[in-house]
Chain A
């Protein structure tokens, strides 16, 4: 038997964990290194909306189609950490009501099943909604637990042989004299000991940090960390995720999470992503806007507020575009650096297909023909991540 090709994945967010699972199934020997705990960057701090694609069905239909396809798959393979009660896109203003036809047409184009509901039906299903609601669509949105989604992919990878090393920080990318990436220099933060790990290919799956890791290898990834703020309130005011029947904007998502509701979000650009302070004025504006959907938000006890930095991609880059929503950079084709690939952008709902496309590219480099199988079966229990001890 010939030995398996070896791959290192940098970053154990949703994409890194899903990619570890995908590549392991396709016959790679995979090691994942992550600076902190699993999902301790952007992934853990997502609001947890399983997108139906409704949010994007008018202005970004490619993304919307991807969302509904992945929504259906994740509902099947990751139901262990997900509540699925459908969601709503509701109209509060006349202007939003006038958006109805466009929205319906967009949803139909993207294959998103929607059903129009009159105000009485909406209020009987979700009594906390603003009584001034003018109508809305029922859409197949859901809510997931962020850490457990990451852990479920990580567990499924680990149980099939992947080595996952949280608290391991990458200090360097090793490049030989012929522009080949041959491995990484990594520091075990539990012991403060450094080591080199060799691999046939290194994949940078660090999302908002992708530019920084790529710079270690001397290549450029034009990712712009774009944080948004979210606020959690100490009351489960609704049982279904609510969106505004409008183009995406600030404070237009409100979703249940255990005994809370979480509202999101805003959007601004930063350079430094390791610690992002919260802008109080942004929070206030967002809360007021969310209260237009559910007025009780104004009286609910505040539980916590937090930031999550989306990895948005600068347009007009020279990367190999797989879709509008995420990008897989083949640095060999772009900058002549062999054995190094970057995946960034995208959203939690599409993490599995991001991993699939990246694994397709990686497999093509090794002339491996095995197809993606991550949508075929349910993920292992996220708790089994803590079972087999394959740590160093």
Chain B
């Protein structure tokens, strides 16, 4: 790690719970550009303003708590270096995720998001083979092993999704991707009908913003399309299948 120091300005919208609109506040920092945006936020809280609120836990991209918008783009701030988002004497803008209710400052309310995932029986642990994307090569040595799946439930995909921005009832990319995975893993109680409605799998406009911002290889866009393929197959069978099968 280099011992360079940059001067940067961090602009953050400040908002107490219940206030209708935020006001912007600038913080000036001296920081090593190899540090992360989350380090910068934590430094602001520790050294400049103890009233700043933000979510974080693991600091290494496994928990999904620290998602924010940095210069208008969804980032997992614990693995986003200062160098990658600004320059010396430059500035960064850090905002809470979109499409979630803001509680205060950078903290958003994840209640609906987690309820949707739970409804889809999205799993956090799956067999090793099923934890990878279908088009990735599977290694034989990992048979009979399990692992924590890729989705860290950070909400970046929902924040970046243009459909979620305009339709509050849309189930959202994380839950649809979660359903696609729980179907593959044969989790009890999972049925693809859970997404077979207008605000479910059919609402996606395939903008693929979700896959573009996903920090954890989940590829929600790909998974939504795969889910649609499965639904089409099922519905085609239902609509045009032969009579014996319908009875």
Residues of A within 8 A of B (CB): 36-40, 43-45, 48, 79-85, 124-125, 127, 143, 145-148, 150, 167, 188-192, 230, 232, 236, 239-240, 256-260, 262, 274-275, 278, 280, 283, 303-307, 381, 383-387, 389
Decide yes or no whether B117 CB sits under 8 A from chain A: yes
Task: Decide: A275 near B47, CB < 8 A? Known: A40-B56, A82-B125, A304-B59.
Answer: yes
Convert B119-140 into 0s and 1s, putting 1 for each residue whose CB lies closer than 8 angstroms to a CB of A: 0000011001000000000000
Task: Decide: A40 near B16, CB < 8 A? Known: A143-B148, A259-B216, A283-B1.
Answer: no
Decide yes or no whether B196 CB sits under 8 A from chain A: no
B contact residues around A40 at 8 Å (CB): 55-57, 65
Tell me whether A232 and B63 are in contact (CB under 8 A). Answer: no
List the one stretch of B89-97, B106-114, B161-169, B221-229 in contact with chain A. Answer: B106-114
Tell me whether B58 and A37 are in contact (CB under 8 A). Answer: no
Tell me whether A45 and B104 are in contact (CB under 8 A). Answer: no
Tell me whether A146 and B62 are in contact (CB under 8 A). Answer: yes
In the bound assembly, the distance between CA atoms of A295 and B218 in angstroms comes to 28
Not counting A147-B65, A303-B79, a sample of 11 additional A-B residue pairs whose C-beta atoms are within 8 angstroms of each other reads A36-B53, A45-B58, A150-B57, A167-B103, A190-B16, A192-B51, A239-B128, A275-B42, A275-B47, A304-B60, A387-B118
Majority-rule SS of A interface residues: mixed
B contact residues around A239 at 8 Å (CB): 128, 141-142, 145, 147
In the bound assembly, the distance between CA atoms of A305 and B43 in angstroms comes to 16
A contact residues around B1 at 8 Å (CB): 278, 280, 283, 305
Task: Decide: A257 near B107, CB < 8 A? Known: A274-B46, A306-B59.
Answer: no
Count, chain B residues at interface, CB 8 A: 50
Task: Decide: A303 near B61, CB < 8 A? Known: A258-B147, A275-B46.
Answer: yes
Shortest Cβ distance from residue B104 to the other chain A in the assembled complex, whole angstroms:
4
Tell me whether B146 and A167 are in contact (CB under 8 A). Answer: no
Decide yes or no whether B25 CB sits under 8 A from chain A: no
In the bound assembly, the distance between CA atoms of A40 and B107 in angstroms comes to 13
Tell me whether B46 and A146 are in contact (CB under 8 A). Answer: no
Q: Which of A127, A191, A236, A256 contacts B141 (CB 8 A)?
A: A127
Q: Which of B59, B110, B149 contacts A44 (CB 8 A)?
A: B59
Tell me whether A306 and B78 are in contact (CB under 8 A). Answer: yes
A contact residues around B57 at 8 Å (CB): 37-40, 43-45, 146-147, 150
What is the chain A residue whose CB lies nearest that of B42? Answer: A275
In the bound assembly, the distance between CA atoms of A191 and B128 in angstroms comes to 44
In the bound assembly, the distance between CA atoms of A127 and B64 in angstroms comes to 30
In the bound assembly, the distance between CA atoms of A387 and B62 in angstroms comes to 22
Tell me whether A145 and B115 are in contact (CB under 8 A). Answer: no
In the bound assembly, the distance between CA atoms of A143 and B43 in angstroms comes to 30
In the bound assembly, the distance between CA atoms of A192 and B45 in angstroms comes to 15
| 8 pairs, A vs B, C-beta closer than 8 Å | A37-B57, A45-B57, A48-B62, A81-B148, A83-B146, A167-B104, A191-B18, A262-B60
What is the chain B residue whose CB lies nearest that of A230? Answer: B60
Shortest Cβ distance from residue A32 to the other chain B in the assembled complex, whole angstroms:
16
Tell me whether A260 and B60 are in contact (CB under 8 A). Answer: yes
Tell me whether B36 and A304 are in contact (CB under 8 A). Answer: yes
Tell me whether B147 and A387 are in contact (CB under 8 A). Answer: no
Tell me whether A80 and B145 are in contact (CB under 8 A). Answer: no
Shortest Cβ distance from residue A222 to the other chain B in the assembled complex, whole angstroms:
24
